[in-house]
Amino acid sequence: MLRRFLLLLSTVLGLIVSPALAQTAKPTPKPAAPVRILALGTSLTQGYGLPPGTEFPVQLQAALRAEGINATVVNAGVSGDTSAGGLARLDWLLADKPDAAIVELGSNDMLRGLPPEQTEKNLRAILTKLRGAGIPVLLAGMGAQRNLGPEYVKRFDAIYPRLAKEYGTLYYPFVLEGVALKRELNQADGMHPNPAGVKVIVGKMLPLVKQLVARVKA
């Protein structure tokens, strides 16, 4: 008899308590969406001549995730692209709503001997669009080949630090830092990094990319 009473009592109490517990229960939060980083650039970003899976965006994404940073790096590199080409593609790329951007453009302008003022105008337009969309930027710089003459070199090399200061972007002065002119880190053409060269670039740029992600979260 006592056992039946206690069983009945526990059932009644369960009916009384369960709704209260249901009201205080909190839903399991959804995992945060990955930070989407737009990598807008040339063949150096696109991965010219590289085996699939060793391109800059792929290696950078893997490096970020190894650091516990949930990020997706979107490969928006086009081999041979100029600053004008990058600007022409930008509106379409922004429709995908990236959270941050790495801008690596201008090297092909320089190789074609285009006026530095034209390159700067295009890059300024790109940075203005990104700023208007509230997207933090890491600007990757390039240096002019010295055989173009001291006047051209002076005008071209001044573009990137000037724009980085003007727009308050994060700034990586030379995208091929630690890789340029090193045979073991480049493909046979001597201009494009091999997988090991890309790994060096990613490792050197990673601290700034982490700051870029922090700007997104801020």
Q: Is 195 helix (H, G, I), strand (E, B) or coil?
A: helix
Closest CA to 164 of 126, 110, 203: 126
Residue 82, number of CB atoms within 10 A of its CB? 22
**Is residue 43 flagged as an active site residue?**
yes
Of the candidates 10, 18, 43, 109, the residue annotated as catalytic is 43
**Is residue 192 flagged as an active site residue?**
yes
List the structure tokens of 187: 């493909």
User: Counting every residue, how long is the chain?
Assistant: 218
Measured between alpha carbons, how far is residue 161 from residues 18, 57, 75, 98 in Å?
64, 23, 24, 24
Of the candidates 99, 107, 157, 192, the residue annotated as catalytic is 192
Which residues are designated catalytic? 43, 189, 192
